[in-house]
Structure 1
Amino acid sequence: MKTSIALNQENLSKLPANVKVPSYNRDQVKTSIVHIGVGNFHRSHEAYYTNELMERYGVLDCGICGIGLLDYDRRIYNILKDQDGLYTLVIKELDGSLNARVIGSIVEFIFAPENPIAVIEKMANPDIKIISLTITEGGYNLNEGTGEFDFSNPVIVEDMKNPMSPKTVFGYLAQALKLRMQRGTGGCTIQSCDNIQGNGDVAKKSLLNYVEKAEPELMGWIEENVSFPNAMVDRITPVTVATDIANLQEEFLLDDQWPVVCEPFIQWVIEDDFKAGRPAWEKVGAQFVENVVPFENMKLRLLNAGHSVLGMLGALHGYKTIDEAARDEDFKTFLRAFMDAEASATLGNLGDIDLEKYKDSLIARFQNIYIKDLISRICLESSAKFPIFVLPTIKAQLKTGGSFARAAFVVAAWCRYNDGQDENGNTYPIEDAMSNELIRAAALSHQNPVRFLEIEQIFGDLAKNKTFVDAFLTSLNMLRTKKVKDCVKELNTKLG
């Protein structure tokens, strides 16, 4: 049996021919991007696009410096340090074949808790043109109900008191931008890569809210010198599991401590608003547009909402992966009807986008049996996801008198999910920043069913809308008295 080869720069030339490795000289790469939040998605998306630009066109002035802000990031920091910033991206094709390539675009990494000043200085360096973010939906510190910046957050309070030892992205950005202003080194672009509608606008709002209190003299300079383009990002990237590491060792003789697996589909649509220039990502498939709204609405309300639909229904039934739920004919029928009759009606004019083809592709992507996207991953932090992915469809349909019965059923399924037990008696953890409130509200909803909707931070004033409340109560009663499959079959028949 052949021994697998540890991934690092020195060993690249020793890897088997079926592993694609960087052909460019990584020693010549110049860093111009700082990325905060080096998780699996960044490594399957922005870092992948950047690697492709280096590999195919020899563009070496767009290297990435990763930043780990949280103690949780220590593991990825240590692994990438050990592997010279290299990692393997394994694309799981629809036919089951694996396409492995080593990505070399991350050439630096700083672990912020160990050296906050180094992070601030790096972000303030005039060579840095873009500071990109994947900090998750909840990382922007906005109250889901009011949309306002949460100054009561203890880490925000701490950053205000100790500006040179920040804990949050806003604390770091404020100090770095302050140095850029004081040194006259010019502005930059802050590029959100998170699944949030108007992610650039959200990043700008959160940062300016923080800066207005923490460093008010920065406000005008940021408005003039920093851009926040909106973008739509898309690539299903599940959690890396032990079998992914083992498969890489067995099939490719490659020992990578934290590879990334993903689907073949990839999309990145970006508003072309960059203050200090940008890589020519369009050469490797990114789209630059004037207005990203139609693209992001389509993605958030169909793909991301579709994930939540399958996640909640699948979790209650006892499925473990998204492909299992998507291959269930009853759930698939329900999902497609949700897309066709409810979500699609809220999207407006999509120009020359073939919406039917896009929805067909989503179903096929969800059904990819080789991705094995965990339902537990899809369901975590749902308090940050539902207001972005599902509730906009409900609110839009309420305004126009359109159908929202399936979306209401999914909200009821979320309430039932927070009981913490599927219909087979198996328990699961509620992994959510608002888990205590969600679990309590779900428990109280057994006596007062509307109690779940009274979480104002999530639902706003929806609890006061009788039309929606009636639909939610009908669905919750169904879910508390019948199996989820029986409920879905009944709705599929009733709603057509």
Structure 2
Amino acid sequence: MRLSAENAGQLPGDVSRPGYDRAQPVGIVHFGIGAFHRAHQAAFTDACMEAGEPGWMIAGVSMRSAAVAEQLNPQDGLYTLTVRSAGESRTRLVGSVAQVLVAGSDREEIVACLASPDCHVASFTVTEKGYCRKPDGSLDLAKAKDGFYPILSDALVMRRDAGLPGLSLLSCDNLSGNGKQLRRLMLEWIDSDAADLCDWFLGNCTTPDSMVDRIVPASSGADLDGLEQRIGMRDEGAVFTEAFTQWVIEDDFAGRRPSWQDHGVQIVSDVAPFETAKLRMLNGAHSLLAYAGQDRGHTFVHEAIADDQLRRLVQRLMIEEAAPTIAAGDGQDLEAYAEDLVARFENPALNHRLAQIAMDGSQKIGQRWLETLAIQQQRGSSCEAILTAIAHWLNHISGDAREVEDPQADALREVWQRPGLDGIVHAIFGTGGPLQSDWTPSQSDLAYINAQLQSLR
């Protein structure tokens, strides 16, 4: 029996269910409605409506694949969220998603949702590559044509022409200063496509920075089968996550928004310290585990962190290398954060696949590793844990160890062919390389990484 609005009342009593009327307006359009969004924003919004705050149903948008639409639309947008920790699982039914639209086939309906007076927020979890940036950070206009930019631009023109207020554009992706980057990139698109919209956009729309911290593994067939046995019906859109959740948002909205702060969201004046800690400590450690863990024969995060050698590297990366580069915010204890992260990585109930974290590394490691390297280099310090991680990433992108899922996979593989093993570090990270940054590998860095690579080859 497939989960739906008709049979949701048959769920077991230990599965909590929304009590609000779901036949209400869509107030949020969300681009990239994967498991990550459904484990945080959709869940927080569900809590707002359950507390009696109407008008915040979500229209989800899948940019390419219809997979999530096929999971959720037959279920009337309903899905279960299961929190897993060692020894227990708690499941709730989430009702905040009204429908899932697909950018290619449902473009006009998406534009109409965004242009509706009921809509106040457009939000995003499209991953780093979904912002269509060139290596120098500017917008790749050719790629952007297939992204969210033209859809959003058309809707904003309609709002302006109808005399409606602007939207809050809320990025929830792992980008440093994600709101500021979204604003800059959106302006680049508008300037190329609808230049007369620029002044209205600047005066009526906002792009608050935000940071989300919650580990959400991809749901496996075994996960879905086990849930079906427990609740008595099939949920193809089920999401499984950890107990910990943190969402920090800059207080910069164009108009109405849900009262997320009443349900644990932090609305602050400056997101940067929280965002930087997550990128450099949690995400940086995750990427280290992803590449080094697979090279050492591990499949899941909890297996990799149990490897004493990798555990020492993670602790060094977080405490000795990344934390000293972060200006902590009020009440932010970075040493305690590092301890909490290790405990979260150890959770055996999550089965967070290293291969999932390893995807799209070329879009991630700049913020996760290279920013820390650059700051520590300026201070005269080296970062052996991150340099070790880079060696494992280079081994990964060679394509010899395993399949590589990365938007630059072919280009990186081609670079591998030209200089050979001895020159690969400089070819990738040196002047003119595809991952050139403020960090310039020193001779000692080159020697260290090459030695590590030699041991892996």
TM-score (norm 1): 0.88
1:102 paired residue number: 93
The counterpart of 1:285, out of the listed 264, 276, 285, is 264
1:62 paired residue number: 56
Specify the SS of the correspondent of 2:421.
Answer: coil
Pair 1:142-2:159 in alignment: no
Amino acid at match of 2:44: Y
Specify the SS of the correspondent of 1:390.
Answer: helix
Instruction: Name the Cα RMSD after superposition.
Output: 1.7
Pair 1:115-2:114 in alignment: no
TM superposition shift of 1:101: 1.1
The counterpart of 1:392, out of the listed 349, 371, 386, is 371
TM superposition shift of 1:125: 0.8
In the TM superposition, 1:354-373 aligns within 5 A as 354-373=333-352
| Paired residues of 1:416 and 1:476 also in contact (CA < 8 A) | no
Amino acid at match of 2:367: I
**Residue deviations 1:456-488 (CA, integer Å, cap 9, x gap):** 46422568x352x531332222332369xxxxx
Cα gap change, 1:130 to 1:21, in 2 (>3 Å):
same
Specify the SS of the correspondent of 2:140.
Answer: coil
Specify the SS of the correspondent of 1:217.
Answer: helix
The counterpart of 1:472, out of the listed 442, 446, 455, is 446
The counterpart of 2:154, out of the listed 164, 170, 175, is 175
In the TM superposition, 1:295-444 aligns within 5 A as 295-422=274-401, 428-443=402-417, 444=419
TM superposition shift of 1:276: 1.2
Whole-angstrom distance in 2 between the partners of 1:75 and 1:417: 28
1:164 paired residue number: none
Cα gap change, 1:59 to 1:448, in 2 (>3 Å):
same
2:68 paired residue number: 76
Whole-angstrom distance in 1 between the partners of 2:304 and 2:151: 41
1:187 paired residue number: 166
Whole-angstrom distance in 1 between the partners of 2:160 and 2:441: 52
Amino acid at match of 2:302: D
Whole-angstrom distance in 1 between the partners of 2:36 and 2:441: 39
**Residue deviations 1:207-230 (CA, integer Å, cap 9, x gap):** 100111110000000000000000
Whole-angstrom distance in 2 between the partners of 1:461 and 1:38: 31
Greater CA drift, 17-26 or 363-372: 17-26
Amino acid at match of 1:459: L
Cα gap change, 1:457 to 1:76, in 2 (>3 Å):
farther
TM superposition shift of 1:455: 8.1
1:6 paired residue number: 2
1:23 paired residue number: 19
In the TM superposition, 1:225-304 aligns within 5 A as 225-304=204-283
Cα gap change, 1:324 to 1:275, in 2 (>3 Å):
same
| Paired residues of 2:248 and 2:274 also in contact (CA < 8 A) | yes
| Paired residues of 1:413 and 1:476 also in contact (CA < 8 A) | no
Cα gap change, 1:482 to 1:186, in 2 (>3 Å):
closer
Whole-angstrom distance in 2 between the partners of 1:348 and 1:377: 30
| Paired residues of 1:346 and 1:396 also in contact (CA < 8 A) | yes
Whole-angstrom distance in 2 between the partners of 1:481 and 1:419: 15
| Paired residues of 1:200 and 1:228 also in contact (CA < 8 A) | yes
| Paired residues of 2:81 and 2:239 also in contact (CA < 8 A) | yes
Greater CA drift, 353-362 or 249-258: 249-258
Cα gap change, 1:199 to 1:261, in 2 (>3 Å):
same
After TM superposition, the runs of 4+ consecutive aligned structure 1 residues lying more than 4 A away are 454-458
Whole-angstrom distance in 2 between the partners of 1:191 and 1:439: 35
Specify the SS of the correspondent of 1:320.
Answer: coil
**Residue deviations 1:251-283 (CA, integer Å, cap 9, x gap):** 222311121111111000000111111110011
Greater CA drift, 222-231 or 441-450: 441-450
Whole-angstrom distance in 1 between the partners of 2:303 and 2:326: 28
**Residue deviations 1:56-111 (CA, integer Å, cap 9, x gap):** x12122111112221x1x12112211000001111112x23111111100013322
Structure 2: any 5+ residue segments left out of the alignment?
A: none
Cα gap change, 1:472 to 1:324, in 2 (>3 Å):
farther
Whole-angstrom distance in 2 between the partners of 1:187 and 1:478: 52
Specify the SS of the correspondent of 2:91.
Answer: strand
| Paired residues of 1:110 and 1:119 also in contact (CA < 8 A) | yes
| Paired residues of 1:453 and 1:459 also in contact (CA < 8 A) | yes
1:33 paired residue number: 28
Whole-angstrom distance in 2 between the partners of 1:421 and 1:317: 15
Whole-angstrom distance in 2 between the partners of 1:258 and 1:456: 43
1:452 paired residue number: 428
| Paired residues of 1:416 and 1:480 also in contact (CA < 8 A) | no
| Paired residues of 1:37 and 1:133 also in contact (CA < 8 A) | yes
Structure 1: any 5+ residue segments left out of the alignment?
A: 160-166, 423-427, 484-496
Specify the SS of the correspondent of 1:227.
Answer: coil
Specify the SS of the correspondent of 2:249.
Answer: strand
TM superposition shift of 1:362: 0.1
**Residue deviations 1:323-369 (CA, integer Å, cap 9, x gap):** 11111111111110111111011002433212111110000111111
Whole-angstrom distance in 1 between the partners of 2:381 and 2:27: 47
**Residue deviations 1:117-176 (CA, integer Å, cap 9, x gap):** 2211111111100000111101111123x111113x3x44xx4xxxxxxx3200011111
Whole-angstrom distance in 1 between the partners of 2:129 and 2:332: 30
1:162 paired residue number: none
| Paired residues of 2:371 and 2:438 also in contact (CA < 8 A) | no
TM superposition shift of 1:452: 3.0
Amino acid at match of 1:138: K
Specify the SS of the correspondent of 2:450.
Answer: helix
Whole-angstrom distance in 1 between the partners of 2:295 and 2:223: 26
Amino acid at match of 1:373: H
1:488 paired residue number: none
In the TM superposition, 1:121-136 aligns within 5 A as 121-136=112-127
Whole-angstrom distance in 2 between the partners of 1:134 and 1:14: 32
